[in-house]
Amino acid sequence: MINHLAIVGATGAVGQEACRILEQRSTPYGQLTLVASERSAGTRLRVNGEDLEVQELTEKSFAGVDFAIFSAGGGRSRQFAPIAVGAGCIVIDNSSAFRMDPEVPLVVPEVNPGDLKSHNGIIANPNCSTIVMNVAIWPLHRTNPVQRIVVSTYQAASGAGAAAMEELRSQTADFLAGRPVEPKVFPHPVAFNLFSHNTPIDQGGYNTEERKMIDETRKIFHEPTMAITATCVRVPVLRAHSESINLTFERPITPDEVREVLSSAPGVTIVDDTKTNTFPMPLAASGKDDILVGRIRQDASQPDGRGIEMFVCGDQLRKGAALNAIQILEALTA
């Protein structure tokens, strides 16, 4: 039972999506409070037929609030999530602030719902690319352990927020009109271009997004040494992430076995029509709850039959962020 739910970062891309999902799923709650930074406070938003004024995020925002979904950046989560917990609120945090904290469960409800039991007030929502990959791989891993993952991503602008989506639109219009393109949100032009994910590169040469995919998957799967490598790339797509995934299993596995497992896996829709060349596409995944999985085939480079290739797409704002958070909320209150 949710008496009083707060959405922190309600005017952002993920916060807005969370409001839409609450409506669509008819998630029951007593009271809803929308919270955002000073800049957006005062905005009025309509959720479930109710006209709500967005409140400014302060230390007093959580009085009487029993659940809060935070999606306002790592800095605000680090500052305000402990305050919310102190006020008796359970926080589902969409930022990376607490994800690798051993005291904080990091949960994809289709994968490790049992980890929810051990929370101390904060539950972390994984990185969007991690969620999209984990929903597709976990059911396979359970039947035949995955020994190595090689993933390359095709990530939408939505991962960098609403302003990044608008930059993709406006920059593309500028490009088509022959006007100069001026990157502001992204460090490089995004219109008709793509670039390595714009997060810092560590000593090992991996960027932060790639490390998240590696470290978070290991934590969610309870496989602390799983061999994973990732290459994360931004593409000029608005809101769904795609991933080309190469897997090595412990034992030989066939594409038909993969299809059989995934056909009954929660949160997965197989889109794999080789006759019409219809496979997962970000436009088709946008607005969908499920992760689309296709191009399922035996990896020709692993002659021992232990290799599988597949291509997946998932709505970054939805299952990659807001929906996963609301699924956690629903699991906590079930």
Task: Show which residues are catalytic.
Answer: 128, 241
Interaction between residue 237 and its own copies (CB under 8 A): yes
Report the nearest approach of its own copies to the CB of residue 254 (Å). Answer: 11
Residues of span 302-321 touching its own copies by CB under 8 A:
302-303, 307, 309, 311
Which of 15/282 has CB closer to its own copies?
Answer: 282
Measured CA to CA, the distance from residue 16 to residue 10 in angstroms comes to 6
Interaction between residue 196 and its own copies (CB under 8 A): yes
| Cβ contacts of 222 within 8 Å, gap of 6 or more | 112
Closest C-alpha to 49, from 71, 22, 87? 22
CB atoms within 10 A of CB 227: 13
Which of 147/333 has CB closer to its own copies?
Answer: 147
Interaction between residue 249 and its own copies (CB under 8 A): no
Residue from 242, 269, 324, 327 that binds its own copies (CB under 8 A)? 242
Please give the backbone phi and psi of residue 94, each rounded to the nearest 5 degrees, phi first.
-85, -5
| Cβ contacts of 71 within 8 Å, gap of 6 or more | 7, 8, 9, 12, 14, 15, 18, 94, 95, 321, 322, 325
Interaction between residue 298 and its own copies (CB under 8 A): yes
Report the nearest approach of its own copies to the CB of residue 193 (Å). Answer: 4
Measured CA to CA, the distance from residue 280 to residue 294 in angstroms comes to 6
Interaction between residue 152 and its own copies (CB under 8 A): yes
Q: Which amino acid appears at position 80 of this protein?
A: F
Which chain residues interact with its own copies by CB under 8 A? 148-150, 152, 154, 168-169, 172-173, 176, 187-189, 192-196, 198-201, 204-207, 214, 227-229, 231, 233, 235-238, 242, 244, 246, 255, 274-279, 281-283, 294-303, 307, 309, 311
